[in-house]
Structure 1
Amino acid sequence: MTKCLKAFSLVFLFAVSAFAQTDTGLPNTTIPEGNIPTNPNVKVGKLDNGLTYYIRNNGKPEDKVELRLAVNAGSIMETDRQLGLAHFMEHMNFNGTKNFEKNDLVDYLQSIGVKFGADLNAYTSFDETVYILPIPSDDPEKLEKGFQILEDWAHNTTLSEEAIDGERGVVLEELRLRLGANERMQRVTLPKMMYGSKYADRLPIGTKENLENFSYDDVRDYYNTWYRPDLMAVVAVGDLDVATMEQKIKDHFSGISKAKNPVKREAYELPNHEETFIAIASDKEAAFSRVQVMYKDRYEAPEVKTVSDYRESLVKNLFSTLINNRLNELRNSANPPFVFGFSYYGGTFARTKNAYQSIANTSPDGQLKGLRAILEENERVKRFGFQEGEFDRAKKSLLARLEKQFNDRDKQESGRIVGSYVSNYLDNTPIPGIEWSFDMTKKLLPTIKLEEIGALINDFLHDDNRVIILTGPEKEGLKQVTEEEVKALLNEIQTADIKGYEDEAVRNELIEKMPTPGAISKTTQNEKLGTTTLVLSNGATLTYKKTDFKNDEVLFRAYSPGGTSLYSDEDFLATSFANGGLSQAGIGGLSLTDINKFMSGKIASVSPSIGSFSENFRGSAAPKDLETLFQMVHLYFTALNKDDEAYNSFITKQKSFLGNLMANPQFYFQDQIGKIRNEGNSRYTGFPNAEKMDAADYDLAYKKYQERFADAGDFHYFLVGNVAEAQVADFAKKYLASLPGTNSNEKFVPTKFRRKDAFQKHIVNRGKDPKSNVSIVWEEEIPHDGKTALAVAALGEVLTIKLVEKLREEEGGVYGVGARGSLSKISFSNLTFSISFPCGPENVDKLVAAALAEVEKIKNEGVSDEDMAKVKETYLVQRKEAIKTNKFWLDNLLTAHQENRDPNAMLSYEDKVKKLKPSDLQKVAKTYLDENYFLGILMPEEAK
């Protein structure tokens, strides 16, 4: 499905922060002068009609080009008659062009392995519209078609009346999806956040009234006004020579005429305001609580053009690193003031204005506490600045990220590169390339002083252009925060008794006393897979595969059979919600804060877990930090800390996060359906809540953890990546073979509970918006075989295609719909097949019947050769890319071992896909998609 709103998720992004370096020994003297260059690997050009283009040859993945059409226009350009039509226009480009009639475009792309939604996509935001098209580059015909599609989007959309009317329902369904607490609260907060600007009333989704009533000419006028070459860029990055791609662009886009009397593309301002705005919004269906402080700059966002600008960006990003390290320490404190908090300096919804923002997610009754915490931390920096130890750690962390990017500069996927060129066109974001950035950072970092980083806070914080935003639940017994309380807190912070930050030193070694190494008992190799397996002296095994997919990546997994299946029902229920808090205590006598400090400059992470049928490890590392990964694994076996204070901090955060979860209709629906489907299951825990978190037994969970990880010799470890084989052997002996092996030879206990094999229909009433959700599920315990597993999954793909055609394109009743099939082997062979979609309450019965009719059609008439070919091609294209990734090999090696399958079978996947027949899918549908299915329906409360 098209992703029609650009993601403005307020997460801490290091847009330029990777450009850092510790002391390089270079003289701390003059700051280099000049402008930031454009990466010489990318060719930037402009056609006579004004269209800009970016081209880069990049060989990963092979035989693929990532194409983008960036239109420098979005919802901010709409007139009052066109609300929502920038986004509607994006939809229309998939619904009929000069060379592709309605549905032909999606149909063709599916036939060459490009999935609608997952690969083919688009988004519309306030200021831009971007179309996303990956296309094969090894077939001249497919390549030509790809550029033809891009050209059609640019100026050949047909916009027929029939197509426009047909798409109204789809877009209205997308608008329906956005209804809810967040949308209602945004109506209150956005006018103050974007005060005095057009951004306050130009949300890209538009309004229901206008989407139902706009005229055909309204959307045509928008298209003719803003889809023009001087407001467009074509970006092509992939496995094809630059000259060929440039010629394709010239052939397809040079003929587009310049606009006659073009309307000026305005840059819309976000006006200043002297006062502090306070926006407080609450809603009965709000699941989460949040506070936000926004300090908008008084001046327009400057472009980053010169080396001096680049240096300033580096200083600001170092600031963000430093303050977020402090906020993370607060989060992990004994009495955390928020679930999660972060600060950053960056863009707002308006291109023309940047802001410094501090944000925290809190408990429903903890908004003032969370607000106080982020205000105090900003004030602490204002009064005392930062310390040298913090500064050094921040530089090390930034250097580690930079080194990773630099080391993998020739292994970056095209899809990760192409976005920077789109941003350069739309936002003038520099694109110097990692080589220049690395070199320049080494020159700049020694010139940056700690004092100038701390001094930034004086520019960031001000009483004018300030907005305080609080959003959260509204329920009986919960006192809402008032504007007067917020104002009083703002005044109080200015004179509060705030102490300076105390930076406690951390030891230099992760393991204080090194273990006595074990030995390698046996070494075997699988030449077909390129793997080596080491049998260790304590009975454990380690399988590794050296790859060159990434220069600076090693992935790690491990498991041992057993897990919570070996717990009694009583112990399982008592520890289920405590297990997540075990690692919060840290390892080897180091707290989480200590570990975060120790890890500055290192790229390595490991997390243990206890699953239903195994105990596990998951991690990753840069090759230079692989020993740290092994050391962490060793400590998780031997020295997991037990710390009631740290565990209680975890519980507090969990309860804060979960405090009003069931107010959200979607979560409530999932919870109720889960209870119904697990009736009689003595080990079903359901959704967590405050009462369950309080009842969780930390002492027992810790004891069971020690039991589960007592036998390290029962584990199978997997490493895939750029490993040095001698190092792997050395680390395996030192940190894994030295662990205790007890020859437990445990096996997991299969699940006893089985769900009912009978038709069930359950309606759950929740929520006041006219929104419904439908879930149809078949489950069947059947013998496991690989061919059936592949057929079940392929049936889900085929049925998704048919459901999109019927429910979305023909009925206009849904925005998204999907089917999914799988055949699991652990703990018993279980087929699961599901169909799910959101829709209007008035359409539930009709769309359920239509979905089931598509299932019956496959059962009775089979799968067409055309649809079968689409799915096969998709699978083959996906496998061609996946097999060149470390994750693919790691996942498949581990799964094969867990399920006691021949790992070499993964090499014959392509043959199995090619041999798959439509009759195989029809057989699965006939045999297992019977009348005994579970139908769960969410309906609004007034629909009872």
Structure 2
Amino acid sequence: MLKTLKLMFFALTFVTTSYAQEVLEQKTTIAPEEKIPFNPEVKIGKLSNGLTYYIKNNGKPENKVELRLVINAGSILEDDDQVGLAHFMEHMCFNGTKNFKKNELVDYLQGIGVKFGAHLNAYTSFDETVYILPIPSDDPEKLEQGFQIIEDWAHNALLTDEEIDNERGVVLEEYRLGKGANERMMQKYLPKILYGSKYAERLPIGTKENLETFDYESIKRYYKDWYRPDLMAVMAVGDIDIATLEAKIKSHFGSIPAAKNPRPRPVFELPNHKETLIAIESDKEASFSNVQIMFKDTDNAKADVTVEDYRKSIVESLFSQMINNRLDELRNGENPPFVYGYSFHGGTWARTKNAYQSFAMTSETGQLNALKILLEENERVKKYGFYEGEFDRAKKDILARMEKSFKDKDKTESNRIIGEYVRHFLENESMPGIEWEYNYYKQELPKITLDEINSLISNYIREDNRVVVITGPEKEGVTKVTEDEVKTLLETVKNADLKPYEDKAVAASLMSDLPEMGSIVDYKKDDVLGTTKLTLSNNATVTYKVTDFKNDEILFDAFSYGGNSLYTDEEYKATTFANGGLAEAGVNNFNKVELSKILSGKIVSVRPSIGTYSEGLSGNTTPKDFEELFQLIHLYFTSLNKDQKAFNSFKEKQKAFVGNLMASPQFYFQNEMGKFIYGDNPRYMGFPTAEAMDKADYDLAYQKYQERFADASDFKFYFVGNIEEKMLLKYVMTYIASLPSSNSREDYKVSNFRPRTGSHTKIIEKGEDEKSAVRITYQGATAYNKKEAHAFKSLAEVLSIKLIEKLREEEGGVYGAGARASIRKMPYGWYSFNINFPCGPENVEKLKTAALAEVDKLIANGPTDKDLAKIKEAQILEYKENMKKNRFWLRTLKNADYQNKDASKIFEFEKSVNSLTKEDLQNVAKKYLTKGFILGIHNPEK
């Protein structure tokens, strides 16, 4: 079962597992005292040495298995001489084990298409360390090696003195990356959030001093103490039978000896405190302003064990849904108190403590008011409660999400399923399976009363165990909030005379009258692509592909050439930053809040946009809500509201968001490089600023939107997913063929401007932290060639491998480095090749030279056979997975029309990959990487 926090704010779907269908049909009442069942489709076991394992057969994606090694140990367990070493140990598992010496592990995995970072990964937190390894399951040798790798991580790390010293530089670079305004402020407020606990002293990254100087014995002791079977779980979910996976786990992990006289694994608590703790921190490089109030529970967090516990979690989810709907209304009001805000009851930094927490991002001068609004809304609920209308909508929304997860139970990717197993092992989170959960929701939601939900806040809100955190920029003209102001506000709100919330009734549907139906005048099937193309009576076209990749997903896209390339320079500048606010007004005389209420219980979204060379819409829905998707499409063409108040709300939120962006050295560097490369363009706008937002012309933007969407005849629409064709044809005729048409057949315009090319250097100094960044860009005009474009992209993939090997593994000078390349056809032929890496200022010249030396090797010799084979394997594996994804097909069909390409060529991709030669990559290196480059360097201020 997912916690409320994850359900409400991080949009993670419930894990989708499957029982027999008859279980779903049972209508028997479940007793509250019963224990929550464990999903019978997941095999869980324990070896004699104490290691726990979880196994599930799951066919999506095909021929792949997700492996996890989970250690119930993290930085909280470090001794004083081990600060940062839980995380350092994670690094060391990639730097030499019994069966994979230095660099052999990553080298082997790249050879079978597993990318370091993108696929192969790990993380360390306060209480846990998790290793992530996806591996092909259709090759017995690769599968065996995958289990050998996670076995080596568990107990065969070599931890040689030499490799420990070599890795210090890499970890220190990761430490350096985390430095900045947010980290400085966090170091000051964490002791109050984590009052009286060890957590405040054990941030996983550790300290620079200890990372530089710790003794070899310290990390070896950590490995011996905490990497042991009774604190470990191995998880395997994928396209292979359970018996094979279980046999692999037993053969690789069963012989690991149980720990003798194991060191006790303590649990660290967060002590209670009577007083309200207040932290008000500022920094001259802070980009954003935030406020947070926490009401920590007095009792320690307990796992949900009984059905009654599970029911309480549903009640909490409903509470969170309703309070956040109210906060959304406020942020979408005429005078928004915050950019966004939310509240929830859930986990904190400490595993043992939950809290009711309210958070908001604000303007730099709006912190105190945002805090006031958060407090008032909590008090309003405490005083008056929620109302039946809110309650009904919340139930519909939550049940719709559960239903979607249930319907896609057999089509959920293994890497999304396995996360629940990790939480079950570490936190004893219940995992009954989606069928039980969905069935229980349907049974129990009607029985939950509004009084149950309204009573929660009395337990949430308290004056003890309360923490207020305010962070933001330190700058001239901004008065810092004081502790006395916060304390006064807390008392004022507690005694305020608040009015009840008004829940205004709304219409039952988006459209009361249907438009006059058009017709389909041509119908063409493409048996190769598995698509159908419709030409409508208004000359718009619709291409759709019916798939079974997901049971409850339909994706949509549409475009027409033109975009803002048809605007004058003055119109472009006046409307660029206004366009994002157009949809904030809603459609068909319904504002955003009303639309949200009308669409309660429905999973549907449509987003209009105006780009440089086209305008369009995109969205998603489920088969059940298909008609609402079409209605929204029709309304965004014909009935976009014009509402100055809604636009003002958007503008104020944008100003709050962007107002201090340039205080961030990283954003400043990006902006300055943008000006350097694109600044001569008469349409160059750069990063938005508060001043630019004030100049945005809403009236003109709305007028231009009306022009861009006035004629549907040259629009192309695309639908991919579990489509019922009969309904699609009906909705197409009703809502798309009925759109206005004037057969204007517009195209886009291409300006004469081209970005800077050739050899240039731009050094930008900003920031107090000793951190630099290097950006190397090769770019210029070219004629598009499909084979060259593929070779060029592949060249960047090879170079990324070499940069990691050279700059990270050999030099120890970076945490990450990479290259990306493309050759585009539209709006004109253009190539671009970018190399990026962060590093210490003292290493800029050395690492830049080393990176360029790797480029020179590719120019002189091309890639090695081994490196070419690595990127080929990765491309083919990615291609095979993509061919089973709706998003990939939607993008492929649209881009083929947009760029005037043959979509059926997608079936030749594997052939194209296999035909790539070293000479192909060397040739594009010679052609494109020998004409000079733009060097951008970000250094700290001297």
Deviation at 1:285, TM superposition (A): 0.1
Identity across the alignment (%) = 59
Q: Which amino acid aligns with 1:491?
A: E
Question: 1:131, 1:931 → 2: CA distance?
Answer: 42
Q: In the alignment, does 2:516 pair up with 1:516?
A: yes
Aligned to 2:609: 609
Contact 2:13–2:405 (CA under 8 A) maintained in structure 1 = no
State the distance in 2 between where 1:33 and 1:51 align.
Answer: 30
Q: Which amino acid aligns with 1:938?
A: H
Q: Which residue is 1:586 aligned to? A: 586
CA distance in 1, matches of 2:870, 2:25: 58
Q: Tell me, what secondary structure is at the counterpart of 2:123?
A: strand
Q: 1:864 touches 1:918 (CA, 8 Å); kept in 2? A: yes
* 2:9 aligns with one of 12, 30, 45: 12
What is the CA deviation profile of residues 385-424 of structure 1, one whole-angstrom value per residue up to 9, with x for unaligned ones?
A: 0000000000000111011001000111111101111110
Paired residue for 1:632?
Answer: 632
1:842 aligns with: 842
8 A contact 1:31–1:444 mirrored in 2: no
Contact 1:17 1:398 in 2 (8 A): no
Q: Give 1:513 deviation, angstroms.
A: 2.0
The alignment partner of 2:509 has SS state of coil
The answer for the alignment partner of 1:315 in structure 2 is: 315
Alignment of 1:806-845 (within 5 A): 806-845=806-845
Alignment correspondent of 2:780: 780
- Partner-residue secondary structure (3-state), 2:783: coil
- How far the C-alpha of 1:672 sits from its partner, in A, is 0.6
Partners of 2:459 and 2:707 in 1: CA distance: 54
The answer to whether the aligner puts 1:735 opposite 2:735 as a matched pair is yes
Contact 1:18 1:398 in 2 (8 A): no
Q: Show the counterpart of 1:899.
A: 899
CA RMSD, aligned part only?
1.5
Aligned residue number for residue 478 of structure 1:
478
Structure-2 residue corresponding to 1:867: 867
5+ long unaligned stretches in structure 1:
1-7
Tell me if 1:271 matches 2:271.
yes
1:645 equivalent to 2:645? Answer: yes
**Structure 1's 195 and 9: CA in aligned 2 closer, same or farther, altered over 3 A?**
farther
Aligned residues of 1:896 and 1:903 also touching (Cα < 8 A)? yes
Aligned partners of 1:569 and 1:683 also within 8 Å: yes
Distance 2:586 2:31 in 1: 42
Mapped contact 1:765–1:940 kept (Cα < 8 A): yes
State the secondary structure of the residue aligned to 1:412. coil
Report the CA distance between 1:757 and its aligned residue: 2.6
Q: Distance in 1 between matches of 2:285 and 2:32?
A: 54
Number of the residue aligned with 1:253: 253
Whichever residue aligns with residue 489 of structure 2, its letter is L
Q: TM-score, normalised by structure 2?
A: 0.98
Q: Distance in 2 between matches of 1:27 and 1:782?
A: 67
C-alpha separation between the residues in 2 aligned to 1:509 and 1:205? 52
Please state if 1:858 is matched with 2:855.
no
User: Aligned partners of 1:612 and 1:862: how far apart in 2?
Assistant: 37
Matches within 5 A, 1:290-369: 290-369=290-369
User: Is residue 16–residue 313 contact of structure 1 (8 Å, CA) maintained in 2?
Assistant: no
Instruction: Letter of the 1:131 partner, please give it.
Output: Y
1:573 is matched with which residue?
A: 573
- 1:12 aligned partner, one-letter code: F
> Is the CA contact (8 Å cut-off) linking 1:31 and 1:447 kept in structure 2?
no
| Alpha-carbon contact 1:17-1:314 (below 8 Å) kept | no
Shift of 1:448: 1.0
CA drift at 1:679 = 3.0
- Contact in 2 for aligned 1:542/1:716 (Cα 8 Å): yes
Between the aligned partners of 1:38 and 1:281, the Cα distance in structure 2 is: 45
Is the Cα–Cα contact under 8 Å of residues 17 and 317 in structure 1 kept in the other structure? no
Q: Secondary structure at the match of 1:310?
A: helix
Residue 222 of structure 1 deviates from its aligned partner by 0.3
Taking the TM superposition and a 5 Å limit, the aligned residue runs for 1:83-122 are 83-122=83-122
Contact 1:751-1:828 within 8 A present in 2 as well: no
The CA deviation at 1:10 is: 12
Mapped partners of 2:514, 2:13: distance in 1: 39
**What amino acid is the match of 2:302?**
P
Q: Distance in 2 between matches of 1:803 and 1:774?
A: 13
- Is 1:700 matched up with 2:706? no
| SS, match of residue 472 in structure 1 | strand
Distance 2:163 2:272 in 1: 43
- 2:489 is equivalent to residue 492 of structure 1: no
In structure 2, how many angstroms separate the alpha carbons of the residues matched to 1:60 and 1:260?
Answer: 41
Letter in 2 for 1:107: D
Structure 1 residue 16, shift from structure 2 partner? 9.2
Secondary structure of 1:322's match? helix
Q: Deviations over 1:422-459 (max 9, x none)?
A: 11001100110001111112222222110110110000
| Aligned structure 1 segments of 4 or more residues deviating by more than 6 angstroms | 8-11, 14-19, 24-30
Residues 938/423 of structure 1: CA separation in 2 closer, same or farther (3 Å cut): same
- Matched position secondary structure for 2:542: strand
Deviation at 1:261, TM superposition (A): 1.1
| CA distances 1:668-716 after superposition (whole Å, capped 9, x unpaired) | 0001110111132001110000100000100000000000001111100
Matches within 5 A, 1:163-312: 163-312=163-312
Aligned to 2:547: 547
Task: Give the secondary-structure state (helix, strand or coil) at the position aligned to 2:204.
Answer: coil
Aligned to 2:19: none
CA distance in structure 2 between the aligned counterparts of 1:16 and 1:264, rounded to whole angstroms: 35
Does the alignment pair 1:796 with 2:780? no
- What is the DSSP-based 3-state SS (H/G/I as helix, E as strand, rest coil) of the residue aligned with 2:135? strand
Deviation sequence 1:51-106 (CA, Å, 0-9, x none): 00000000111110000000000000001100000000000000000000010000
Query: Greater CA deviation, 384-393 or 855-864?
Result: 855-864
Q: Aligned to 2:675, what secondary structure does the other structure show?
A: helix
Verify the 8 A CA contact 1:585 1:640 in the aligned structure 2: yes
Q: Distance in 1 between matches of 2:800 and 2:829?
A: 24
Conservation of the 8 A alpha-carbon contact between 1:751 and 1:827:
no
Contact 1:534 1:543 in 2 (8 A): yes
Given the superposition, is the C-alpha separation of residues 296 and 774 from structure 1 closer, same or farther in structure 2, using an over 3 Å criterion? same
Look up the equivalent residue of 1:383 and give its one-letter code. Answer: K
Say if 2:49 and 2:256, in contact at 8 Å, map to a contact too: yes
State how far apart, in whole Å, the 1-side matches of 2:485 and 2:378 are.
Answer: 19
Q: Distance in 2 between matches of 1:653 and 1:26?
A: 49
Q: CA contact under 8 A between 1:794 and 1:921: conserved in structure 2?
A: yes
> Which amino acid in structure 2 is aligned with residue 399 of structure 1?
L
Name the structure 1 match of 2:20: none
* 8 Å CA contact retained: 1:58, 1:414: yes
Give the corresponding residue for 1:623.
623
* 1:3 alignment counterpart: none
Say which is worse superposed, 24-33 or 86-95, in terms of deviation. Answer: 24-33
The aligned residue for residue 21 of structure 2 is none
The Cα shift of 1:931 comes to 4.4
Distance in 1 between residues matched to 2:364 and 2:754, nearest whole Å: 38
The match for 1:559 is 559
* Residue 721 (structure 1) aligns with: 721
Post-superposition Cα deviations, 1:270-303, rounded to whole Å, max 9, x if no partner, equal: 0000100001110000000000000100001011
1:588/1:640 contact within 8 Å kept: yes
Partner of 1:67: 67
Q: Could you tell me which residue of structure 2 aligns to residue 527 of structure 1?
A: 527
C-alpha contact (below 8 Å) 1:18/1:399 kept by paired residues: no
Partner of 2:669: 669
Distance 2:910 2:750 in 1: 32
SS in 1 for 2:713: helix
Secondary structure, counterpart of 2:480 in structure 1:
coil
> 2-side partners of 1:242 and 1:840: how far apart?
48
Total equivalences in the alignment: 931
Partner of 1:77: 77
C-alpha distance in 1 between matches for 2:536 and 2:349: 56
- The offset of 1:512, in angstroms, is 2.3
Is the partner of 1:86 in helix, strand or coil? Answer: helix
Distance 1:420 1:825 in 2: 43
2:9 partner letter: F
Question: 1:864-892, CA deviations, whole angstroms, 9 ceiling, x for partnerless residues?
Answer: 00000000000000011110000010000
Tell me the amino acid that sits aligned with residue 211 of structure 1: L
